[in-house]
Every structure is written in C-alpha cells, then in structure tokens.
C-alpha cells in the first residue's frame, strides 16, 4: 500500500482527514484537511497554469496521452488503494482505472474545429471554441477515479485547468492519481484538494473558477448551483437517479435475470444509474422475485481485496445506516424480504444483498434513491399504470424495458421520462455517448463531444469577404 505522504511543500496547515477501510470499519490512512488559504493558492496556481495550457493544443494532446499511459502503468498501485478506501472488488477497481485512462485518450483525440455559420451576408462568419478557465470538479465516493476523469478529461482536453475535489470518504486514490498525472502534466494544470466541508462549498463559489462540474446528490447539487450563482460560473450537475426497470409480459426471465440483477447490485448498488426499482407483470411476479432472490442469496459478499468477492461493503457508515433504515421501514410497511433484509454480522459496512417483495409504492425504498444493495420488486396489471409508476419520481436519469418483442419494448421505452433508456440491459454507456439526466437528475451533458463542448465557450468571428465590403449591406445586424 503506498504511504499517503503529501508532496514536499504541500503539507496541510489545517488538520488531517482519517480515511476508513469500509471492509473493517477502521481508519487506515489520512489525507490533508485543507484550509481556505490553501484552496485560494491552488485556484491561483490553476489560473496561472491556464495561460500556457490553453495556448498549445498539440502539446496538450501529447501531454494527455502521456498522462493516460502513466495511469495505465500505475494500475497495480491505484486499484488496490481504490478498493481499500471505496470497498469495491479489486477487479472493478482495475476496470475503473482502465476506464480513466481510456477516457483521457478519448478526449485527447477530440478536436473542436471551427464551424461556418454563414447567414447569406457578404461576411465569413465562423464559430470557434475557447476554453473557459479554471474548472472546479467535485465528485462523490462511488466511482472516485472514473467520475473524476469524466470531469477532468474533457475539461483539460478543452484547454482548461482543473481543481479536483474528491469525497472526504475517498481522497487517497485520487491523490495518488494526481501524483501519477503530474509526471506528464505541467504544474498547476490539475490539482487535487482534500478536506471536509465547507471545502467543496468554497470551491463551488470561488471567484477564480469559471465552471463548476459536480457529481453527487440532488440536495448538494442545489447548494453547488446556489454557490456558483455568486460568480455566475457555468454549472454542470450530474445528480441522483431512481431508475426503473420495466419488465413486459413476454420477458424471458431466466435469460435476463443475471443482467438485471447486476444492473441493480454492481458496486453494491452504489451507482447513480443502477436499477433501483423493478416493475413486473402480476402474472410473472413470483417468477421474477424468485429469480432475483436466488441470485441475491448466492452472490459472494466480502472484502474487495478478496478475489472471491462479488460484492463489497457499502462505502461508509452513514450510507449503511441509510440503507438499513429504508429496508427496516419497508419491512415495517409490510414488505417481505425474499432475500437478505439485514446488515451482516461482521466488522465493516456489509449489508446482505436484499430483494424486497410486496413493498407499498410510497415506501422510501421505492420513492427515494436507496443507493445500496436493496431492490424492491413491484407488480403491475396495466402497462399504462406501470409506465406512470416508473415516471412517478422527481428523478429522470435512466430507465429500461425488458421483453422479447423489441418494437413493443422500444415504444414503451420512449415513454420513460429520463435521459437514457435501454432495452434488455441497463447502465451501459460508451465514452462517445452523451449522458444527461432530466428533471432533478441533472443539468448539462457529459460524455462524447457534448462533454467537451460543456467545457468550452463559443466565440463567433465575422469577417468581410473584402476589406471595403460593408457588413451591414446584407440585412439585419442585431439579435
């Protein structure tokens, strides 16, 4: 395990932040709890570094590609540290590191070229793209590296510099990542700050920041937007979800059960776009509950560093308490635990993979985002009722429809109020695809070229075709 030692000259003047291994519940390392003065200095360095970073696109591309190579080369240091602080199985941490490097390569290769915007006047009008300035990236604890890269890779590729704040629950792998990247990136281009609140709030409202890109819960997203309102910095928010999986009556349950189960339970259910509710036709209900419960009972739960583990612990004590409370409430409301229903009697934040049947629809495990290894399965009789129930949430991140008749499934998927809908799978996206929540699931677009443009300012240049040509000759000249 690499020792968590800050780079010389970067020691915190503030306190220290203990980091807990969720597989034991014990603190095993510390990170700096950085002060407001340190934050100011980091933002100032990001501003100073911006002028060089934005001005040489070929050098930027080369640096990002070299940085991606460095991340891949450090996979055997990054992945175990990520598992130790986050809890996920080591194979998933390794995949997360690989995806981080792949994302850097993807964005390094994107070039936002000029776009002609001629309007018929004797003027050459061209839309060009300019970087925004220092970007604040604030991320949660469920995919610390992957979600960080979803922010810093497009921001850096666009020519901005980045101040990255991980969750206080998972600062270590992000700090190590920054030190790996520093071999390829100029000083100040990407800096990690760590600490307790109000560090994130200060960063979101910092006058030196021009774009705040945040992933986390909806209540914190609102606070971030309010903070950024003070400076009118651009805001991108990727927030929570309460994705429904809607099974049609022609679904082949045995064929889809593994995929559906892991779409809900991967990373211990701590995935924004996990399946968080299943709607099954009443006449197939028992079969669906049984298939999912069987898989929940046989899933291997254990420490992420144990290669046999398929599911690790929850990441932190408040999250365990939240999952425990919403499960207990569902059981008190009359639900039946077809599998699990309780925390595991061992140290650490382990909760038994849980499938709940007969849950009243108003119960918090259905109405809110449980963000844990607990899946409510609800019966329906009319398809319109099922679509209405799937849409009866303030969230609008993802959704899926499962059935054999693909045309019918597509027609139903088109009625889901969300940013992404899948048929017969869920929560899979490639780097080139856009990802945008509707309703309270977000503002702005991540992924693909849209993620890059979210980090750029349009700049339009109008130039007459000849020096003496009068631009106003062609028509109106106001907006």
Tell me which residues touch ligand NAD (CB under 6 A).
138-142, 147, 165, 167-168, 197, 200-201, 204, 215-217, 220, 223-224, 238-241, 272, 369, 371, 397, 437, 442
Q: Which residue pairs from 433-439 have beta carbons closer than 8 angstroms and sit at least 24 positions apart in sequence?
A: 435/238, 437/238, 437/239, 437/241, 437/395, 437/396, 437/397, 438/396, 438/397, 439/393, 439/394, 439/395, 439/396
Q: How far is the CB of 224 from ligand NAD (least distance, A)?
A: 5
Of 38, 85, 268, 272, the catalytic one is 272
Whole-number minimum distance, CB 166 to ligand NAD, in Å? 6
Count CA atoms closer than 13 A to 476's CA, side-chain side.
Answer: 2
Q: Rank residues 164 and 377 by Cβ distance to ligand NAD and give the closer one.
A: 164
Tokens 């790996």, located at residue:
180
Cα angle 4, 10, 16; round to 5: 55
418 is catalytic: no
Looking at residue 300, the DSSP 8-state letter turns out to be: P
Query: Shortest gap between Cβ of 417 and ligand NAD (angstroms)?
Result: 15
Q: Which two tokens stand for residue 16?
A: 């220290």
Shortest distance, position 135 Cβ to ligand NAD, whole Å: 14
Q: In the complex, what is the shortest distance from the CB of residue 99 to ligand NAD, in angstroms, rounded to a whole number? A: 14
Buried b (16+ CB within 10 A) or exposed e, 233-250: bbbbbbbbbbbbbbbbee
Task: Name the closest residue to ligand NAD (Cβ).
Answer: 200
How many Cβ atoms from other residues are within 10 Å of residue 45's Cβ? 18
Considering the complex, state which of residue 217 and residue 391 has its C-beta at the smaller distance from ligand NAD: 217
How many angstroms from the chain centroid is the CA of residue 104? 16
Q: Which is nearer to ligand NAD, 159 or 216 (CB)?
A: 216
Phi, psi for 21 (deg, rounded to 5): -85, 115
Pairing of strands 135-138, 162-165: parallel
Distance (Å) of CA 341 to CA 323, 335, 375, 396: 10, 10, 10, 27
Of 381, 421, 433, which Cα lies nearest the Cα of 243?
A: 421
Query: Residue 192's closest CA among 112, 478, 200?
Result: 200
Smaller CB separation from ligand NAD, 123 or 149: 149
Residue 240 or 379: the one with the smaller Cβ distance to ligand NAD is 240
Quick one: which of 310, 308, 337, 312 has its CA closest to 324? 337
In angstroms, what is the minimal distance from the CB of 221 to ligand NAD?
A: 7
Which of 13, 196 has the CB closer to ligand NAD? 196
Instruction: Please indicate whether residue 326 is annotated as part of the active site.
Output: no
Smallest separation, CB 96 to ligand NAD (Å)? 12
d(CA 83, CA 359): 33
User: Residue 293 or residue 393: which is nearer to ligand NAD going by CB?
Assistant: 393
Beta bridge partners of 26: 21
Name residue, tokens 């597989």.
23
Strands (E), 221-274: 234-238, 243-247
Q: Of the residues 38, 85, 238, 324, which is catalytic? A: 238
Question: For residues 208 and 216, which CB has a smaller minimum distance to ligand NAD in the complex?
Answer: 216
Residue 119 CB, nearest approach to ligand NAD (Å):
37
Q: Which residue has the tokens 């994107």?
A: 110
Residues with active-site annotation: 238, 272
């Amino acid at each position: 395990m690499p020792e968590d030692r800050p780079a010389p000259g970067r020691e915190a003047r503030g306190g220290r932040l203990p980091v807990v291994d969720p597989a034991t519940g014990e603190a095993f390392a510390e990170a700096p709890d950085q002060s407001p003065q340190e934050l100011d200095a980091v933002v100032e360095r990001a501003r100073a570094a911006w002028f060089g970073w934005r001005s040489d696109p070929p050098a930027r591309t080369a640096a990002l590609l070299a940085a991606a190579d460095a991340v891949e080369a450090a996979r055997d240091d990054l992945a175990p540290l990520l598992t130790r602080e986050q809890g996920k199985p080591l194979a998933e941490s390794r995949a997360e590191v690989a995806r981080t490097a792949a994302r850097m390569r993807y964005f390094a290769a994107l070039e936002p070229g000029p776009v002609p915007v001629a309007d018929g006047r004797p003027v050459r009008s061209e839309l060009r793209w300019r970087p925004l300035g220092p970007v604040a990236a604030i991320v949660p604890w469920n995919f610390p590296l992957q979600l960080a890269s979803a922010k810093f890779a497009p921001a850096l590729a666009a020519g901005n510099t980045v101040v990255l704040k991980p969750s206080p629950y998972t600062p270590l792998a992000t700090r190590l990542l920054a030190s790996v990247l520093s071999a390829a990136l100029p000083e100040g281009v990407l800096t990690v700050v760590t600490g307790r609140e109000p560090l994130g709030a200060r960063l979101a409202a910092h006058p030196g920041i021009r774009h705040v890109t945040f992933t986390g819960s909806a209540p914190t997203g609102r606070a971030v937007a309010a903070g950024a309102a003070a400076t009118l910095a651009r805001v991108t928010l990727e927030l929570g979800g309460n994705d429904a999986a809607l099974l049609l009556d022609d679904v082949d349950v045995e064929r889809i059960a593994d995929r559906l189960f892991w779409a809900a339970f991967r990373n211990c259910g701590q995935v924004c776009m996990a399946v968080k509710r299943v709607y099954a036709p009443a006449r197939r209900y028992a079969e669906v509950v049984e298939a999912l419960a069987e898989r929940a009972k046989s899933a291997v739960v254990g420490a992420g560093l144990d290669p046999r583990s398929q599911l690790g612990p929850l990441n932190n004590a408040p999250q365990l308490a939240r999952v425990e409370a919403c499960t207990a409430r569902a059981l008190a409301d009359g639900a039946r635990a077809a599998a699990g229903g309780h925390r595991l009697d061992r140290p650490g934040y382990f909760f038994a993979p849980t499938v709940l049947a007969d849950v009243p629809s108003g119960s918090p495990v259905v109405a809110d985002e449980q963000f844990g290894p607990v899946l409510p399965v609800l019966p329906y009789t009319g398809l319109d009722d099922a679509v209405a129930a799937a849409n009866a949430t303030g969230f609008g991140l993802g959704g899926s429809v499962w059935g054999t008749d693909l045309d019918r499934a597509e027609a139903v998927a088109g009625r889901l109020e969300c940013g992404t809908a899948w048929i017969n799978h869920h929560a899979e996206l490639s780097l080139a695809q856009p990802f945008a929540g509707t309703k309270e699931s977000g503002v702005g677009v991540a992924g693909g070229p849209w993620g890059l443009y979210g980090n750029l300012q349009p700049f339009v240049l109008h130039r007459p075709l000849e020096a003496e040509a009068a631009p106003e000759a062609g028509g109106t000249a106001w907006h």
